[in-house]
Structure 1
């Protein structure tokens, strides 16, 4: 009888506040996929104490039947978190540590000094720079030089990693993916609008994602105000939560948009909202490769977005979407106006977008490549300990 195949345990490690963001979809669904393929795997989330919104992630993990370990984390120097993680990796033995943010990667790099592990990181993006965050990003890139493999979700992130001194030989480009069967176009957008209590005849534009500074939702609202001034009536759905909620409320009041914007909050299942949208808008200042853009495109929603991060590799302007300059509310308003007034063009863009992601950004395709990377890592000789960096 052949001996069973040995596989190390994968730890998917992530620091999060509230309901998280796009990486949560990749982590949770990816864990389910790898678990079904026989990999021993656990998700480890570090989150602030008394963060009640984190329960949304716990509920999603239970729905998907994936193992989740949560540690309360009280800041950069919480040695209790380090001790708990050390006890966990020592108990598990051979581990592939898969970090998904700067703190998870820094902790992995530190712990492998005392407990040899294979280190893998997925770089999802670095957001908008601020002085303290810039320092964290600097430390993150230093740590990544000592990793075994660094997965980047866009070519621009891979280039940024290489510029930061991370060896090109360990940097792998692997874009995010979407399940195009799960995210399928609705049979009727008008019916989808009615189910949300919206007039079927009113064009609906929308955003799904974290409400944070780098998403530049102020530009979306200013563009919406321009549309209203020009006599183009639309209704906007903003789906998500995050730290700029109060700022958005103030902007909505400033432009008297209360009757034209619905702040939905976090939605565990965003598909009913995509289904009602005539245009999806993502006016980001920085991105990796946004899951929400893939989801909207899979549901054949025409998209208006900015050419930042990995988006230019995903969107062919005028063919699979519309690209506008970051921060340009005038261009945003004009792009949306063209799509809501020329439905045949909007439908064509949406259909092209869906076909593009089906062909190039399927979730199974992504996970099969990630599994190849994992197999390559654990098949190397005896989990070597790297020299210091």
Structure 2
């Protein structure tokens, strides 16, 4: 059956097109207005600085000096002594002995003018540093009122001479705002003689018990000052397991200490660890940059190696590089967190000259080259024997521990929630998760986001947008071995005091649910489902996982009524425990063009005349979307219509090259134009007459919603939640045509899609009516800010089924049985299954 509002048109004869020489109302397609960065995806450009024979893996992004990326005079939150004191004083308002700080005592609201936190050199906004007014406020993480100072995890040593008030207060704020609050900050006054600087150091020492102020009474110099700090730390009764040397004007991202200390715990063989960093400030340049003193050291490695900062040979600088090489000579090295966690402030040349003289000027005979040669000569043994350390691979059935390696000292709050997703692709489900995070952040929640998979750059494309709403984003494989995921996830949930976890599309979390709910019995785990698996994966995919784990779930939320009914038809036992919250779009960002505007867009964007009917496909070029059916559809359509038309394909994916080959084989290059990924999809939709998406199945498709918002008639499959999205069940005036495809018979499916496309190509009034309907449906049902208000309501309805966790109940599936059967079939079905041994099997 074909569900359609388009009238029949088959009775009229149409001349068959000559495919070898088509007569089109179009000019050469050059797309003159496309920016160069839209024509292909660019990977990050990494600039490693190699000192001597090897260096820790770090990445420096350069300041390019454009107005959009200017780093001079960055907009700050005006960090002052009073603002810092207020942030630190919040803990005094908590009940005695409690780790909870009520959100009313320290409200957390996102910036009214948020900006994405890019780490792509071509998109970098250099003034959007951790304390920028365009980032979430620095009070997302607070120290627990019950936290002790007796067992710090990391000692941070800052040697300073006449520190600048504004810069040091920013450094202090980035430390006191860390998600790892259990630290010791040792500030060494290296012969400060300016009154304001002395007063500032005294204020900081008195502001927090974690701050220790020491005085270098020996010769002046960074090496001497840092050694004073090391001596103090190693003289403590209990030495913190980790050390960091921090300059008095640099900043950490607010989750940095937590991530790198856990990274070191996950890689016990490492003596030190690094991370990616951003170089920003008035003195940052495209060339002539240096690796900063930014790393974490294991205290045992420093003690056992005997390494200290060389006070004689490097009084003019370079003492940190020498320190690294000393550790390497002792066999101590490590690796890096694959994440930007450090902001290195590059000061203007006048300030550098005041502190360092000519040390960092380059050229023949320069002090810098002399330092480099001195380091290479001193550590020449490393030339043939440099220690190499990689993360230790996780192994199957390696012992799992649930307890954290140390206390974080972090306060919990009463408005905290955790979201878990596999990654942050630029896709519909991921954009939906981003909107959910925004809804909670704007409601005053401190939101934690956990990603269980890591693929760069595609898998973190939405991370810059996510960081607009929360500092607390954790891409686990970028700094942890897999075997440490369980306890880190537990740590994140408990340390933030979260009582609800919303997760989506995560096989790992579903399979860990029995253990997670045992470890966290008071936490409500809520899954959000988009659609069933279209290809039979896991007998239905994530909805099947949801059914198997329903005894461990406090509530299930689906994006459509269709999927809710699917769950009930396939074994879910309680309709009252399933809610529906549709994902929507920002309707205000989409405007349906009139004829004049559409024709102008055709001319400007596509270089086409108004007579050409534009059909557009937008989606991932993968099996689910059936992109390889497109050439068949167009082939069939050419036999049916005489009118001029073109299909534009926008998207990227694993079947992109196969699609291009099919287009060439069928000689359809003049009728199908494959554009790949585009960031200006709205511009193409403005030039479009018909939107085509022949998917196997969909949930509530973002691409379809956006096309509907542009007033386009939709031609898509009568499958999944697509009928619901186009208005079936809620209105008689549908927003498009639904094709009842068979999947197995591609030729028949192509004929049906071609029929409907041909009908709309030849009937403008039908296109207009369907497009108007589509726009009205979106306005009524699919604005995301309205639709996602239901998410909080559904979360409040969540209830754990405590009795089903403690004892067997025959009504509810036990997922361990299913996992056991799946594992044995995957590993050796030939000897474990009747089918594998049947003599008549072909």
**TM-score bucket of the superposed structures, by smaller chain:** 0.7 to 0.9
Name the CA shift for 1:347/1:108 in 2 (closer, same or farther; >3 Å).
Answer: farther
Secondary structure class of the residue paired with 1:128: coil
| Aligned mates of 2:758, 2:448 — CA distance in 1 | 46
| Aligned mates of 2:645, 2:438 — CA distance in 1 | 39
**1:323 alignment partner in structure 2:** 738
Contact 1:304 1:332 in 2 (8 A): yes
**1:168 alignment partner in structure 2:** 575
Match of 2:775 among 350, 354, 367: 354
Contact 1:82 1:107 in 2 (8 A): no
Match of 1:205 among 615, 620, 643: 615
Query: Are 1:12 and 2:410 an aligned pair?
Result: no
**1:87 alignment partner in structure 2:** 491
Give the number of the structure whose residues are more often helix, by fraction: 1
Query: Are 1:284 and 2:676 an aligned pair?
Result: no
Query: Are 1:272 and 2:659 an aligned pair?
Result: no
Query: Are 1:121 and 2:527 an aligned pair?
Result: yes
Contact 2:560 2:700 in 1 (8 A): yes
Equivalent residue runs for 1:239-254 within 5 Å: 239-254=650-665
Secondary structure class of the residue paired with 1:47: coil
Query: Are 1:221 and 2:631 an aligned pair?
Result: yes
Name the CA shift for 1:192/1:385 in 2 (closer, same or farther; >3 Å).
Answer: farther
**1:69 alignment partner in structure 2:** 474
**2:263 alignment partner in structure 1:** none
Secondary structure class of the residue paired with 2:632: helix
**2:434 alignment partner in structure 1:** 28
**1:342 alignment partner in structure 2:** 763
Name the CA shift for 1:284/1:37 in 2 (closer, same or farther; >3 Å).
Answer: same
Moved more, 122-131 or 298-307: 122-131
Deviation at 1:152, TM superposition (A): 1.1
For residues 69-98 of structure 1, the C-alpha deviation after alignment (integer angstroms, 9 at most, x for no partner) is 222289xx9323333322222321223111
For residues 89-144 of structure 1, the C-alpha deviation after alignment (integer angstroms, 9 at most, x for no partner) is 23212231111114254166242321232111110012323456757764443124
For residues 37-81 of structure 1, the C-alpha deviation after alignment (integer angstroms, 9 at most, x for no partner) is 2122132222235x322242223335x54443222289xx93233
Residue segments in structure 1 that go unaligned for 5+ positions in a row = none
Deviation at 1:338, TM superposition (A): 1.9
**1:143 alignment partner in structure 2:** 549
| Aligned mates of 1:28, 1:370 — CA distance in 2 | 13
Alignment TM-score, normalising by the size of structure 1: 0.87
Name the CA shift for 1:99/1:186 in 2 (closer, same or farther; >3 Å).
Answer: same
Match of 1:370 among 791, 809, 818: 791
**2:601 alignment partner in structure 1:** 192
| Aligned mates of 1:246, 1:192 — CA distance in 2 | 28
| Aligned mates of 1:115, 1:249 — CA distance in 2 | 50
Name the CA shift for 1:133/1:73 in 2 (closer, same or farther; >3 Å).
Answer: farther
Contact 1:7 1:40 in 2 (8 A): no
Deviation at 1:155, TM superposition (A): 1.9
Aligned-residue Cα RMSD (Å) equals 2.9
**2:85 alignment partner in structure 1:** none
**1:181 alignment partner in structure 2:** 588
Deviation at 1:335, TM superposition (A): 1.2
Deviation at 1:210, TM superposition (A): 1.8
Deviation at 1:160, TM superposition (A): 2.0
| Aligned mates of 2:558, 2:484 — CA distance in 1 | 30
Contact 2:781 2:787 in 1 (8 A): no
| Aligned mates of 1:209, 1:243 — CA distance in 2 | 12
Residue segments in structure 2 that go unaligned for 5+ positions in a row = 1-92, 94-101, 105-412, 744-748, 806-813, 815-842
| Aligned mates of 1:247, 1:61 — CA distance in 2 | 33
Deviation at 1:342, TM superposition (A): 1.7
For residues 262-317 of structure 1, the C-alpha deviation after alignment (integer angstroms, 9 at most, x for no partner) is 32223345212222211111111122221211111111011111111112222257
Secondary structure class of the residue paired with 1:192: helix
| Aligned mates of 2:553, 2:577 — CA distance in 1 | 8
| Aligned mates of 1:199, 1:174 — CA distance in 2 | 40
**1:261 alignment partner in structure 2:** 672
